[in-house]
Structure 1
């Protein structure tokens, strides 16, 4: 199925309407459908009113309860997959203000217990020094001071013992000279410090550890619990909530994780690379 970014929001409305119409065609009340699908009547009502986006599993249960099959079932499942996919383009974020995006991420982080960050291109804001954050925003126009402050403020979540973080960075991401040599050396020192936080697991995949071609890193992504994946591109981010997508990215993460070094071996590499940056300024 091909997704058109501008159509993803409409799919939620189309799905709600399709489910409501099919229920009425089947001659079922919301209460009767809820009983058949092993759901609450309130959940059925909220789905049809677009107050709740159903998961793929929810829609599969409803379709079975309705006795729908063939093209009707195929259409509703396709709508469900689209409804669980969201596109956030960078231009819209810039128009709203990049600091607003930081607020959204902060709210998401509050309700998430387990994080998996795969970082093949650059260091994420939760791990970044102020100089690195400013350098990462240099291509954006206007005053970025509020966005920088919000990014740094979000780092406090790392100290919450109820949260668990795994960061996987490629050597390229760590050593890419986004800032000055001294700023990069300080950034790598920051990674060493973060790696010692008890609830943080930070690993690096060295370039001399080559896996199969099928495991070639393709994009930055973050897995939030088992609920959601955010896949970043050069022009925006794709939000995936389908459990099959989430499971696939978790499996990808585990494969990449098997090539990473952690603990003292990781810190030794980071120290060596920091020293190399320090030598460059002499």
Structure 2
């Protein structure tokens, strides 16, 4: 099996499982037509696509490892945001949710926005309103992102977030709504499997926050740039990002010190609201 025969191998695997294509597509958070194109070799599946399809089929860890090794032969994949927009941001959120459901450890570094799993409904709306989506797609996308957040309450998963202080001060919303968003961070930081750290502006730094990235276990790194999402699967590159994450994590505030900083910034927003 190689990447050129991956689609047909996935089709045979699904058929041998006895599952209908519609059921697998639904479990993999993709359309039946996309699954059909993958199985027939008309569309090259991404690493995420293969991961979600295999999980929907319910294969053994050994079989999954074999298929994923083939999927990762192309160590870097680039998907332009215009393509994501054409397919639908709500579907993208559902696909991310399917991937998060399979993840034991998620590490996310964010120097630009509050991470999606920690956003309030108002913050989510502000983020996607800037994409000029139609009203129906906007509501679907907001709902899909908020649905993802239920995973934070799983006792079988660990979430580690490192964000920069500038993210807390970036005025995505009016002052009162920003204060509510920071309250959401504080409450989420107390969940058993959630570790939120903030890199303070006053801290001497040894690295540079060039862009956000998310590490799924030690398998995939998703990098967001202005024009595209980049998926990295080469183990050496994944290790590079894991090292970068740890460097920021070590220099960041955590626990009560982190919450104290967030509360200070929140109170600044509240005072601005009162005097505005």
Pick the TM interval, shorter chain: 0.7 to 0.9
Query: d(CA) in 2 for partners of 1:188 and 1:170?
Result: 13
For residues 188-213 of structure 1, give each alpha carbon's deviation from its aligned partner in whole angstroms, at most 9, with x where no partner exists. 0000000000110000001011212x
1:147 aligns with 2:141: yes
RMSD: 2.3
Deviation at 1:138, TM superposition (A): 1.8
Which of the numbers 84, 89, 94 marks the counterpart of 2:75? Answer: 84
1:52/1:117 CA distance change after superposition, 3 Å? closer
Query: d(CA) in 2 for partners of 1:167 and 1:88?
Result: 24
Tell me the matched-pair count: 215
Deviation at 1:279, TM superposition (A): 1.1
Equivalence map 1:20-39=2 (5 Å): none
Query: d(CA) in 2 for partners of 1:88 and 1:156?
Result: 27
- The residue aligned with 1:251 is 243
Give the TM-score normalised by structure 2: 0.73
Query: d(CA) in 1 for partners of 2:68 and 2:155?
Result: 31
Give the TM-score normalised by structure 1: 0.72
1:94 aligns with 2:85: yes
Which runs of 5 or more residues in structure 2 are unaligned?
7-61
Query: d(CA) in 2 for partners of 1:259 and 1:13?
Result: 44
- The residue aligned with 2:226 is 234
Equivalence map 1:42-57=2 (5 Å): 53-54=69-70
Could you list the runs of 4 or more consecutive aligned residues of structure 1 that deviate by over 2 angstroms after TM superposition?
A: 11-15, 51-56
Contact 1:116 1:167 in 2 (8 A): yes
Query: d(CA) in 2 for partners of 1:201 and 1:170?
Result: 14
Equivalence map 1:96-245=2 (5 Å): 96-141=87-132, 142-143=134-135, 144-212=138-206, 215-245=207-237
Query: d(CA) in 2 for partners of 1:97 and 1:265?
Result: 39
Which runs of 5 or more residues in structure 1 are unaligned?
1-10, 16-41, 57-79
Deviation at 1:252, TM superposition (A): 0.4
1:273/1:52 CA distance change after superposition, 3 Å? closer
